């Protein structure tokens, strides 16, 4: 279970691994909105107890801002698909709030700062294009609006402000470029690491650990639906002779060819792993014993027909396949794999290049 504060703030929303940046943006926006609303409420309280009097029009604008920010928070919480419209609306009310301070609190000479504070958030939440649009729009708006203020800023003050704002935009443009490219690279490295950790480098199919983990998930799903499933255990015949006769590299080549033959003989929803040197296991969800035997037979035939070409010689490769099926629930992968293993040894003993089945009672 999530700790209370993150749950209260972000709700029960999940992000894929590939959505890590979106998750950061979603959480960032929520924190900024809640913080913005609380911070503004603090000023409202300070005004009402005469600690920091700001005047009626700006008080109303602050009340409008904090109410709308909390409303936007309630709308976004748990609904990541609403991120863009909420981010845009929040940006719009922020600009209104800062403009209200600019017009109605002339005694605060530093109130222009809020327009600066706004820029990093726009680059982070809405990207570089919108970041520049808001930066340049703010520069233009401040320049044009300055003369209409009750206490306009001097020309040098405005020039300094504009230069600083453009500097801020350029800074966050470079920073966003850098951080996004760093993030993309990290994501690519993570994908590569995950692939290396879960897949056999020679054949590209799942390694034993990842395969058995996947089988456990598939068994859990099958027992929720009260569905049966089957496991095939495949061992190449006299593979040592291939290595001894044609060399280890040729043996590797055969393993790759066999893996690809098996992969193309099964459904996308089936799982396949290399569980030993020349041993593969296949998990067939929602598959009864008879169908599993048919699948095993078609794999066996496809391997026999594949006849890989090694140095101009066509090589006959065959496999013995054991089949174990579970009609109901309550069966572990370990047990079923053991049964498929036993069935495979029966096939070997019966002369190899055949399919043998053990049905779980």
CB of 171 to ligand GTP, least distance (A): 53
Per the CB < 8 A criterion, the answer to whether 119 and 175 are in contact is: no
Using the rule CB under 6 A, is 316 a contact of ligand GTP?
no
Residues 290, 299: Cα–Cα separation, whole Å: 14
Q: Does 235 bind ligand GTP (CB under 6 A)?
A: yes
Only segment of 99-107, 110-118, 239-247, 333-341 that touches ligand GTP (CB under 6 A): 239-247
The answer to whether the CB of 132 falls within 8 A of the CB of 170 is no
Give yes or no for residue 236 binding ligand GTP (CB under 6 A): yes
- Count of beta carbons in the 10 Å neighbourhood of residue 171: 13
Our CB check for ligand GTP shows the closer of 102 and 275 to be 275
Name which of 8 and 202 has its Cβ closer to ligand GTP: 202
Q: Detail the DSSP E strand segments found in 115-187.
A: none
Least CB distance to ligand GTP at residue 237 (A): 4
DSSP 192-227: HHHHHHHB-TTT-SEEHHHHHHHHHHHHHHHHHHT-
- Select 169 or 308, whichever has its Cβ closest to ligand GTP: 308
3-state secondary structure of 80: helix
Distances from the Cα of 230 to the Cαs of 159, 270, 289, in angstroms? 75, 10, 7
Task: Render 321-360 in DSSP notation, one character per residue.
Answer: EEEEEESSS---HHHHHHHHHHHHHHHHHTTSSSEEEEE-
Question: φ, ψ for residue 29 (rounded to 5)?
Answer: -60, -45
Return the number of the residue (40 or 337) whose C-beta is nearest ligand GTP.
337
Smallest gap from Cβ 16 to ligand GTP, in A, equals 33
Element (H, E) at 242: helix 239-246
Query: Of residues 153, 212, 239, 280, which one binds ligand GTP by CB under 6 A?
Result: 239
Task: Say how many Å lie between the first and final Cα of the chain, rounded.
Answer: 39
From the list 126-134, 135-143, 229-237, 338-346, the region that binds ligand GTP by CB under 6 A is 229-237
In which order are the strands placed within the sheet that holds 229-236? 206-207, 271-276, 279-285, 229-236, 319-326, 355-359
- Of 80-88, 105-113, 249-257, 331-339, the window that binds ligand GTP (rule: CB under 6 A) is 249-257
x/- map, 276-295, ligand GTP, by CB under 6 A: -xx-----------------
Q: Is 341 in the site for ligand GTP (CB under 6 A)?
A: no
Shorter beta-carbon distance to ligand GTP: residue 46 or 202: 202
Residue of minimal Cβ distance to ligand GTP: 277
Q: How far is the CB of 287 from ligand GTP (least distance, A)?
A: 25
Binding positions for ligand GTP, rule: CB under 6 A: 202, 235-240, 243, 248, 251-252, 255, 277-278, 348, 352
């Amino acid at each position: 279970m999530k700790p209370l504060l993150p749950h209260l703030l972000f709700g029960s929303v999940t992000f894929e691994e590939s959505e890590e940046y979106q998750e950061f943006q979603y959480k960032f926006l929520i924190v900024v909105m809640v913080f913005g609303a609380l911070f503004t409420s603090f000023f409202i309280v300070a005004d009402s107890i005469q600690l920091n009097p700001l005047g009626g029009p700006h008080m109303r604008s602050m009340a409008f801002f904090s109410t709308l920010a909390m409303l936007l928070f309630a709308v976004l919480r748990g609904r990541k698909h609403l991120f863009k419209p909420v981010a845009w609306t929040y940006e719009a009310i922020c600009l209104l709030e800062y403009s209200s301070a600019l017009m109605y609190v002339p005694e605060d000479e530093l109130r222009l700062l809020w327009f600066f504070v706004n820029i990093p958030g726009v680059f982070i939440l809405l990207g570089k294009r919108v970041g520049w649009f808001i930066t340049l729009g703010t520069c233009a708006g401040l320049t044009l609006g300055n003369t209409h203020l009750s206490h306009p800023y001097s020309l040098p003050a405005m020039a300094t402000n504009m230069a600083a704002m453009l500097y801020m935009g350029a800074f966050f443009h470079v920073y966003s470029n850098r951080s996004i490219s760093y993030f993309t690279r990290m994501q690519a490295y993570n994908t590569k690491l995950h692939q290396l950790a879960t897949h056999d480098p020679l054949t590209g199919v799942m390694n034993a650990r990842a395969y058995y983990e996947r089988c456990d998930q598939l068994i859990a799903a099958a027992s929720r639906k009260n569905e049966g499933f089957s496991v095939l255990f495949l061992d190449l015949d006299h593979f040592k002779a291939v290595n001894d006769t044609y060399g280890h590299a040729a043996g590797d080549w055969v393993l790759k060819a066999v893996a690809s033959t098996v992969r193309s003989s099964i459904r996308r929803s089936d799982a396949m792993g290399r569980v030993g040197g020349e041993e593969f296991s296949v998990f067939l969800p929602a598959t009864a014993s008879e169908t599993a035997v048919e699948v095993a037979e078609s794999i066996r035939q496809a391997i026999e027909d594949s006849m890989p070409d090694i140095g101009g010689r066509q090589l006959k490769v065959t496999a013995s396949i054991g089949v174990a099926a579970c009609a109901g629930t309550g069966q572990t992968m370990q047990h079923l794999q053991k049964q498929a293993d036993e069935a495979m040894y029966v096939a070997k003993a019966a002369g190899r290049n055949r399919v043998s089945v053990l049905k779980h009672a």
